[in-house]
Amino acid sequence: MALMTGEQYVESLRKLKLKIYLFGELVDNPVDDPIIRPSLNSVKATYDLAQDPRYAELATAVSPFTGERVNRFLHIHQSTEDLANKVRMQRVLGQQTASCFQRCVGLDAINAVYSTAYECDQAHGTDYQARFVEYLKYCQANDLIIDGAMTDPKGDRGLPPSKQADPDLFVHVVERRDDGIVVAGAKAHQTGSANSHEMIVMPTQSMTEADKDWAVAFSCPMDAEGVFLIMGRQSCDTRKLEGGTLDVGNPDFGGQEALIVFDNVFIPNEHVYMDGEYDYSGMLVERFAGYHRQSYGGCKTGVADCVIGAAALAAEYNGAARASHVKDKLIEMVHLNETLWACGLACSYEGKPTASGNYLVDLLLANICKQNVTRFPYEICRLAADIAGGLLVTAPSEKDLRDPVVGPWVDKYFRGVASVPTEDRLKVMRFIENMVHGTGSVAYLTESMHGAGSPQAQRIMISRQADLEAKKALVKKLVHIDN
């Protein structure tokens, strides 16, 4: 089929038999649920972008397997330009949604699995990559969303999978059959899982021989038998149930996370891409992490463009836009954001082909990018809150503004610049509140800190990639030290 439109994507989700729990109840209609729908709208934007002629080169690419044009979120990177176009696309989508559009993890997963499966095949005589290519061609042909699932609950962080009190705290193989495997466990913090057709499951860390049953990678439909989701709570999420839009802050878009539970799920052999090859689990994790850390140089800069714009509007509506300290704070916000952007592009253009032929980002620069992302968005939000002022969190509700008795008083006393309607000022304040404290802070701040690995994970990789011995050799040469 051709590339789906956004509306066709929405209708395709209605055909799935997703098993989703929210607030202790099984959701009857996830597509139209007011808590989930804003996150679905963010994913829909990825389909709408692919239909927009202005963004054809960013949002789509030609598949090396079929020769057909596919959504870039289903593309195997063929060049450094592909890597750069990925982050360019992500920035545009961040600007259009001010949220997490949830497909980056799947794109990063397919590229990591593609190259790792090839090298695993070379070492072990397996046929994982051929299986994976057939699966990917199916997803491309049907323009499906693939969710990438890596993070396990982990239990006791001081113990490997095989030493946990409960073996299910990491996804693992519980039975091997002639025609496939049976897996159990869970994946936590899964962004976009409720809005996906398929998922690729990967190990969450390097494994040893003792952990080989946990060294497993596979794909399956999101509504496969034995799979169910438990949605995560977000700050201010029940505002979406109140009927209005002002207090939500970002009324049309949002993100969503879930716990995915695998209750003895059967996976046929053709959808298994690692089964016990623990020596390649670390490669898969590192490559996925590298791609995903690159992603944050695109998506988070796009979201920050909206935060910076909201801060500038708040200053204008407050009557403070000309203040030198406000101008300086906005400059600092732009400086921080464009630094992240530069890192995202740099690790893309310094990418190199893997043995399988697809392109991998420069891992050192990708980790530098993500290390900065764990810091700069927090400073950008601090400055936005500084510029906005206390009204950010003390504004009355939309119901108060609409009330015939107190509404006129709200309108009178919360107006800033006389020419700007009070409601417009409050909309901007609620948007900033959403990004700094509300549901939007999940996609911007929490993901910036913990998505693609928490800060220490990047520091470990930076240490591995830094090549201090080469740097010491430079100095020895300069000062004529021979040994």
Q: Which residues are catalytic?
A: 100, 104, 191, 257, 292, 296, 299, 447
State the Cα–Cα distance between residues 432 and 437, nearest whole angstrom. Answer: 8
Question: In the listed set 261, 278, 295, which residue is the last one of a domain according to the structure?
Answer: 278
List the domain range (segments joined by +) for residue 107.
6-278
Q: Which of 317, 2, 274 is nearest to 117 (CA)?
A: 274
> Are 427 and 325 found together in one domain?
yes
Question: In the listed set 262, 278, 294, which residue is the last one of a domain according to the structure?
Answer: 278
Contact indicator for 58, 89 with CB cutoff of 8 Å: yes
> Are 58 and 205 found together in one domain?
yes
> Are 175 and 66 found together in one domain?
yes
**What number of CA atoms fall less than 13 Å from residue 2's CA on the CB side?**
5
> Are 260 and 350 found together in one domain?
no
Q: Is residue 270 part of a domain?
A: yes
> Are 79 and 101 found together in one domain?
yes
State the Cα–Cα distance between residues 192 and 231, nearest whole angstrom. Answer: 10
**DSSP 8-state symbol, 406:** T
> Are 273 and 369 found together in one domain?
no
The SS3 assignment for 190 reads: strand
> Are 307 and 266 found together in one domain?
no
φ, ψ dihedrals at 72, nearest 5° = -60, -25
Question: In the listed set 239, 257, 278, which residue is the last one of a domain according to the structure?
Answer: 278
Q: Is residue 248 part of a domain?
A: yes
State the Cα–Cα distance between residues 158 and 56, nearest whole angstrom. Answer: 47
Q: Is residue 274 part of a domain?
A: yes
Count: domains in the chain = 2
> Which pLDDT tens digits describe the chain residue by residue (483 residues)?
689 999 999 999 999 999 999 999 999 999 999 999 999 999 999 999 999 999 999 999 999 999 999 999 999 999 999 999 999 999 999 999 999 999 999 999 999 999 999 999 999 999 999 999 999 999 999 999 999 999 999 999 999 999 999 999 999 999 999 999 999 999 999 999 999 999 999 999 999 999 999 999 999 999 999 999 999 999 999 999 999 999 999 999 999 999 999 999 999 999 999 999 999 999 999 999 999 999 999 999 999 999 999 999 999 999 999 999 999 999 999 999 999 999 999 999 999 999 999 999 999 999 999 999 999 999 999 999 999 999 999 999 999 999 999 999 999 999 999 999 999 999 999 999 999 999 999 989 999 999 999 999 999 999 999 999 999 999 999 999 998
> Are 133 and 207 found together in one domain?
yes
Q: Which of 445, 466, 340 is nearest to 384 (CA)?
A: 445
> Are 262 and 290 found together in one domain?
no
- pLDDT of amino acid 483: 85
| Residues in the chain, overall count | 483
Provide the CATH number for the domain around residue 338: 1.20.140.10
Cα(first)–Cα(last) distance of the chain, in Å? Answer: 64
> Are 309 and 331 found together in one domain?
yes
- pLDDT of amino acid 1: 61
> Are 63 and 199 found together in one domain?
yes
Q: Give CA angle at 186 (184, 188), nearest 5°.
A: 170
State the Cα–Cα distance between residues 54 and 57, nearest whole angstrom. Answer: 8
Provide the CATH number for the domain around residue 61: 2.40.110.10
> Are 356 and 229 found together in one domain?
no
**DSSP 8-state symbol, 67:** S
Q: Is residue 13 part of a domain?
A: yes
Q: Is residue 159 part of a domain?
A: yes
Q: Is residue 358 part of a domain?
A: yes
Q: Is residue 155 part of a domain?
A: yes
State the Cα–Cα distance between residues 386 and 329, nearest whole angstrom. Answer: 9
Q: Is residue 445 part of a domain?
A: yes
State the Cα–Cα distance between residues 468 and 474, nearest whole angstrom. Answer: 10
